[in-house]
Structure 1
Amino acid sequence: MDDDLRERVEREAEKHALLNAVKHESDADVGAIMGPLMGENPEFRQHGGEIPGLIGPVVAKVNQLSADEKRERIGELAPEELAEMEAEEEEDDQLLPDLPNADDYDEIRMRAAPNPNGPWHMGHARMPAVIGTYKDMYDGSFIVRFDDTDPETKRPDLSAYDAILDDIAFLGFEPDDVIRASDRVETYYDYARDLIEKGGAYTCSCSGEEFSNLKNDGKPCPHRDKDIETTLDEFEAMVDGEYNSGEMVLRVKTDIEHKNPALRDWVAFRMIDTPHPRPEAEDYRAWPMLDFQSGVDDHLTGVTHIIRGIDLQDSAKRQQFVYDYFGWEYPEVLHWGHVQLDAYDVKMSTSTIKELIDAGELDGWDDPRAPTIQSVRRRGIRGQAIVDAMVELGMSTSDVDLAMSSVYANNRDLVDDEANRYFFVRDVAEGASADSQTVSGPSEAFAVEGGPADAHPPLHPDHEDRGTRTIPVEGSVLLESGDVPAEGERVWLKGFGAVRREDDTLVATGDDLDVVREGDVPVIHWAPEDGVPVRLRTMDGDVTGVAEPDFGDLPVDELVQFERVGFARVDSKGDDETVTYFAHK
């Protein structure tokens, strides 16, 4: 093999080794690159016996480079292949499908349309997580529209408006516009009048049972063909509140013989006697139904793409009749299944959670047992951890299961590096069984003899620059019952050293760390008996115990990792105890 060919082989081998290493995020392998190398350079094949020995040192040299250095070198040798690989990586990283016909719109505009009848449970997080992600993908707009035009069956909670916006901010998104449908009732009235004048709606005083029988038989309501002036007059009487609940509705005129009875002459407005809780809307009595209100608002706010549950497919079909009357183009629609959540005994339902709070079975929306965004936020779980888990669910039209373990794993990646470590010795849980996953049982106190007066474990094992904690060893220390050694046995008090139990005393042995490495001595956490009293609130009940002294200096909202217990957020500090909320292992 001449020198020119040798140089070409080495250059091509370097390129393929780099591509292989970066693509698989591992060291390159001679065997793995032989196929592509020979395939692109058939003239090398006659030298097949020499090639492996020639490219081995090249591959070894590539494997010594850092990941950034490998990418930089590919950019020099094969910029087109690098660009193609990065495009493939970006496509692989995209968990959400492309929006349909996105190129047909100057701007992608999407909306979340919460009913503010209470703060959000975890299932509600999926909509802003996905819409916010699409907004970033397309540089579009994210609208929040409170669909609060039902003051009776889904009565708005005045505190929920701000609570929901707080939840959206916690998830990491800022709406481009916030709308309250109850501020726009006059607009809905105007469009109802226009629809009547187009012959697309009529007032109906049939009872619910009467109309249901007619609808199911495919027969028209006797009021269907009344003249436009009469319908307008009766609608104005509705607006003026001259009818009681159930006496009069406004129906959209569709196809009375439509194969789907749910689409036949559906109700657009109804009378509600219960005043709206917002003072700005308390005088209205004629309220639009959701399909009318939402359809009008989606058009007026320029929504291009709607995401809704697969169970709401009829909504688009109902609204299409209104859009046809006005000559509007209906937005693109994506459907998905419901999210089902594990790890909670409480049903993921706003009404159920509210009932439990009212009954005193939950302390509030942020009770750790409640499957709410406020609850996980109070536990120290980041909004990004929830968003990532929701986006990972994709857009399946089937119901999907969200495992809280995936949220916890995401959160662990976000907080592990910044959460300093502390010892917390748990006692019996209040309201939880001793065999709970977060409960070890009663702690026991032991005097310590020998060794240094203080222990100095690191604040974080990966960040020596943060320094150490100081834990006094004089006096008695607490051990969890599961860690108490038998008489004459040894344990390693983390940050202090090996001790042997002699009656009610732990005597320092002077052993070095080899006894731990050899597996003879278990490593345990501990705390001074006069340390900081702590209450750890968990999904299984409250756990009481004692933490090391330095923990008492931490501010509220600090997130820590209690070693061998899990991550926890400092919630409040009092003279008697510090209250923390358990996040996860």
Structure 2
Amino acid sequence: MDDDLEERVRAEAETHALYNALKHGSDPEVGAIMGPLMGDNPDFRPHGDEVPGVVAPVVAEVSGMSDDERRERLLELDPDLVEELEADDEEDESVLPDLPNADEYDEIRMRLAPNPNGPWHLGSARMPAVIGTYKEIYDGWMLCRFDDTDPETKRPDLDAYDEILDAIGYLGFEPDEVLKASDRVETYYDHARELIEKGGAYTCSCPAEHFRSLKADAEACEHRDKSVETVREEFEAMVDGEYSDGEMVLRVKTDIHHKNPALRDFVAFRMVDTPHPREEAADYRAWPMLDFQSGIDDHLTGVTHIIRGIDLQDSAKRQRFVYDYFGWEYPEVVHWGHVQIDAYDVPMSTSTIKEKVDAGELTGWDDPRAPTLASVKRRGIRGQAIVDAMVELGVSTSNVDLAMSSIYANNRDLIDDDTDRRFLVRDGDASDATDRDRLPAGAPEEFALAGDVPDAGHPPLHPNHEDRGDRDVPASEGVLLESEDAPADGERVWLKGLGCLRRDGDELAWVGTDIDLVREEGVPVVHWVGAGDDEHVRVRLRTMDGDVVGHAEPGYADYDVDDLVQFERVGFARFDAAPGDAEEADAGEYLAFYAHP
């Protein structure tokens, strides 16, 4: 690290340490600010082993300040951060606003209403994150109701029911009750019959295009004035499956002159020839539209507050017509804008992801390139990191962007303290994500060791927890270094946990363990592994940009599936499979999934 870079690290570290101390009201720690520091300054990452040594004295200096001194110094360095802290002080602990009229209800009751047409993408996490958090704030009740009454256009995936429940659990929540709308069709029929008796619905056989034209002109169709008896008979014929798709619908009578054409006499039931994939619901042919089904269920399950997208404002307006017929009080509604997440080339669309999986463009829903909860879970990202990021977005009606770096920063805070460090010497950069079978170019450089070099290095398992001990990295048969870390002939390099060596041709000669060589003379600190076949293990690291194959220290073989490590100077990764347990990895390779830096 040159002097200019070291000065930049010191300056950035001071700002981060001051902010951290003031935000949390305690002395800063090196480990606590390393994640945000490296996230905000990616050019520091190649010097990851040296940065803590520069940061530590800065943190010590900030720890010796009073809060007043810290605030005054941060005001000099970054007034905007002080303003942000002051704004935070004025806000409640939760960034979520109070639910409307919450004090008027004995119990806050909310619902998740997923369509089980596939596993969840990342955007789907916003609903359980926010509703689950509101449930905790108000000690309320939460329903998961699968809105699966569309057997054709959004055809349910039989595996998705359990996958979605697993995803809710991964995010840290558990519904108080789970319902499938396709189990409740008879309930919807009963309410349709009651609505017919009230004169609030009529059967209509108009071709779709014809009715669309009438509706646009605010003209009633010829079927609107049918007798209740005729409507009743024709609806029962719908229930009995006597009509085919498109032949007959049941419409809710609204205001045919309403200024919003979308609210004029909307469809409540239609015929669907395609059988439902669930055996229990396969015989039904007359299916409720979502607005009717959802409205009925919200009332029957006592939902007090609905959170839905701003694009569904018309749904609430349609449902109010039905509620008015029945004399029900409509729930409170909160509308929010869409959330868009960066870092992915694949759109957050269940149908698009499914197409790419079916076409083999993605290896599955948990492919690192897929913007899905299954993917980030397999990468080792905690559900709480996603929840925190989603809750921080609030419930604004504006569309919002969520950077994956926010999720990564949250996850780093959650896992850093408990995650062991290990070395991984990579063969090269990640391969092109469109060519999964091509290995990275390049290879590590191998060096024999000369002089009184110890047989093993002993770097700490965690730099902030000496009590966890050291790890043994054998070096009796030479070492492997990443190509960019190999010193020029005659130059020195510090092998972390081992000591300082000087290159002499194809050998590294022992210099010693005087750490001042790093601190005062700028000898670079690098990671490494032993060169012998029994001194490292092969690892295939699956990333969003392709596979990285490399050599890890042998202790990596001691981990279990789902364990996390931080490959120093590479990033956090989840242990996925031992050799022979994963089809994606070659024989003898451990498979790991890259989480983030």
Q: Could you tell me the TM-score, scaled by structure 1's length?
A: 0.84
Partner of 2:50: none
Partner of 2:562: 557
SS of the equivalent of 1:258 reads: coil
Name the CA distance, whole Å, in 2 between partners of 1:176 and 1:401. Answer: 31
SS of the equivalent of 1:92 reads: coil
Query: Per-residue deviation at 1:92?
Result: 3.1
- Counterpart residue identity of residue 549, structure 2: T
Partner of 1:230: 230
Name the CA distance, whole Å, in 2 between partners of 1:22 and 1:543. Answer: 40
Partner of 2:550: 545
Pair 1:462 & 2:467 matched:
no
Q: Which moved more, 1:211-220 or 1:243-252?
A: 211-220
Pair 1:523 & 2:525 matched:
yes
Partner of 1:342: 342
SS of the equivalent of 1:137 reads: helix
Provide closer, same or farther for how the CA distance between residues 361 and 505 of structure 1 changes in structure 2, counting only shifts above 3 A.
same
Q: Judge conservation of contact 2:493–2:500 (CA < 8 Å) in 1.
A: yes
Partner of 2:595: 583
Query: Per-residue deviation at 1:465?
Result: 1.5
Note the alpha carbon deviations across 1:474-501, whole angstroms, 9 max, x for none: 1121111111111111110000001111
SS of the equivalent of 1:189 reads: helix
SS of the equivalent of 2:556 reads: helix
Q: Judge conservation of contact 2:440–2:547 (CA < 8 Å) in 1.
A: no
- Counterpart residue identity of residue 135, structure 1: K
Name the CA distance, whole Å, in 1 between partners of 2:284 and 2:421. Answer: 57
- Counterpart residue identity of residue 261, structure 1: P
Note the alpha carbon deviations across 1:511-569, whole angstroms, 9 max, x for none: 51001001420000001123100000000000000000111111111100000100000
Equivalent pairs: percent with the same residue?
72
| Matching of residues 287-298 of structure 1 within 5 Å | 287-298=287-298
Name the CA distance, whole Å, in 1 between partners of 2:272 and 2:22. Answer: 64
| Matching of residues 411-450 of structure 1 within 5 Å | 411-429=411-429, 431-432=431-432, 441-450=442-451
Q: Judge conservation of contact 2:148–2:181 (CA < 8 Å) in 1.
A: yes
Query: Per-residue deviation at 1:25?
Result: 3.1
SS of the equivalent of 2:361 reads: coil
SS of the equivalent of 2:425 reads: strand
Q: Judge conservation of contact 1:426–1:440 (CA < 8 Å) in 2.
A: no
Name the CA distance, whole Å, in 1 between partners of 2:342 and 2:24. Answer: 33
- Counterpart residue identity of residue 314, structure 2: D
| Matching of residues 247-266 of structure 1 within 5 Å | 247-266=247-266
Query: Per-residue deviation at 1:252?
Result: 0.1
Note the alpha carbon deviations across 1:63-118, whole angstroms, 9 max, x for none: 99999xxxxxxxxxxxxxxxxxxxx9594322100000001101000111000000
Partner of 1:34: none
Partner of 2:156: 156
SS of the equivalent of 2:92 reads: helix
SS of the equivalent of 2:512 reads: coil
Name the CA distance, whole Å, in 1 between partners of 2:398 and 2:578. Answer: 45
Name the CA distance, whole Å, in 1 between partners of 2:510 and 2:354. Answer: 55
Note the alpha carbon deviations across 1:152-203, whole angstroms, 9 max, x for none: 0000000000000000000000000101000000000000000000000000
Provide closer, same or farther for how the CA distance between residues 252 and 550 of structure 1 changes in structure 2, counting only shifts above 3 A.
same
SS of the equivalent of 1:298 reads: helix
Aligned partner of 2:539 among 509, 534, 542: 534
Pair 1:304 & 2:309 matched:
no
Q: Judge conservation of contact 1:426–1:443 (CA < 8 Å) in 2.
A: yes
Note the alpha carbon deviations across 1:238-272, whole angstroms, 9 max, x for none: 00000000000000000001000000000000000
Matched residue count: 511
Query: Per-residue deviation at 1:24?
Result: 8.6
Query: Per-residue deviation at 1:129?
Result: 0.2
Partner of 2:7: none
Pair 1:279 & 2:279 matched:
yes
Q: Which moved more, 1:453-462 or 1:536-545?
A: 453-462
Name the CA distance, whole Å, in 2 between partners of 1:275 and 1:429. Answer: 50
Name the CA distance, whole Å, in 1 between partners of 2:255 and 2:595. Answer: 54
Q: Judge conservation of contact 2:424–2:528 (CA < 8 Å) in 1.
A: yes
SS of the equivalent of 2:110 reads: strand
Note the alpha carbon deviations across 1:104-156, whole angstroms, 9 max, x for none: 10100011100000000000000000000000110001110000000000000
Query: Per-residue deviation at 1:442?
Result: 2.7
Partner of 2:102: 102
- Counterpart residue identity of residue 480, structure 2: L
Partner of 2:511: 509
Q: Judge conservation of contact 2:430–2:545 (CA < 8 Å) in 1.
A: no
- Counterpart residue identity of residue 446, structure 1: F
Name the CA distance, whole Å, in 2 between partners of 1:487 and 1:314. Answer: 72
Query: Per-residue deviation at 1:22?
Result: 8.5
Q: Judge conservation of contact 2:457–2:474 (CA < 8 Å) in 1.
A: yes
Name the CA distance, whole Å, in 2 between partners of 1:449 and 1:290. Answer: 75
Query: Per-residue deviation at 1:464?
Result: 1.3
Aligned partner of 2:492 among 490, 493, 513: 490
Q: Which moved more, 1:573-582 or 1:165-174?
A: 573-582
Name the CA distance, whole Å, in 1 between partners of 2:295 and 2:521. Answer: 68
Name the CA distance, whole Å, in 1 between partners of 2:503 and 2:541. Answer: 29
Q: Judge conservation of contact 2:440–2:549 (CA < 8 Å) in 1.
A: no
Note the alpha carbon deviations across 1:337-358, whole angstroms, 9 max, x for none: 1110101111111001000000
- Counterpart residue identity of residue 491, structure 1: V
- Counterpart residue identity of residue 485, structure 1: P
Provide closer, same or farther for how the CA distance between residues 115 and 487 of structure 1 changes in structure 2, counting only shifts above 3 A.
same
Q: Which moved more, 1:309-318 or 1:469-478?
A: 469-478
| Matching of residues 381-420 of structure 1 within 5 Å | 381-420=381-420
Name the CA distance, whole Å, in 2 between partners of 1:188 and 1:229. Answer: 19
Provide closer, same or farther for how the CA distance between residues 403 and 519 of structure 1 changes in structure 2, counting only shifts above 3 A.
farther
Partner of 2:126: 126
Whose relative contact order is higher, 1 or 2, with alpha carbons under 8 Å and at least 6 apart? 2
Pair 1:354 & 2:354 matched:
yes
Provide closer, same or farther for how the CA distance between residues 334 and 440 of structure 1 changes in structure 2, counting only shifts above 3 A.
farther
SS of the equivalent of 2:427 reads: strand
- Counterpart residue identity of residue 573, structure 2: A
Note the alpha carbon deviations across 1:14-36, whole angstroms, 9 max, x for none: xxxxxxx9999379xxxxxxxxx
SS of the equivalent of 2:503 reads: strand
Provide closer, same or farther for how the CA distance between residues 281 and 211 of structure 1 changes in structure 2, counting only shifts above 3 A.
same
Provide closer, same or farther for how the CA distance between residues 464 and 216 of structure 1 changes in structure 2, counting only shifts above 3 A.
same
Query: Per-residue deviation at 1:449?
Result: 1.8
Q: Judge conservation of contact 2:431–2:440 (CA < 8 Å) in 1.
A: no
Q: Judge conservation of contact 1:516–1:522 (CA < 8 Å) in 2.
A: yes
Pair 1:500 & 2:506 matched:
no
Structure 2, unaligned runs of 5 or more: 1-20, 28-62, 68-87, 434-438, 581-587
SS of the equivalent of 2:428 reads: strand
Partner of 1:5: none
Partner of 1:82: none
Q: Judge conservation of contact 1:440–1:480 (CA < 8 Å) in 2.
A: no
Q: Judge conservation of contact 1:440–1:481 (CA < 8 Å) in 2.
A: no
Name the CA distance, whole Å, in 2 between partners of 1:478 and 1:354. Answer: 42
SS of the equivalent of 2:566 reads: strand
**How much is the aligned-residue C-alpha RMSD, in angstroms?**
2.4
Q: Which moved more, 1:506-515 or 1:224-233?
A: 506-515
Q: Judge conservation of contact 2:111–2:303 (CA < 8 Å) in 1.
A: yes
Q: Judge conservation of contact 2:146–2:180 (CA < 8 Å) in 1.
A: yes
- Counterpart residue identity of residue 493, structure 2: V
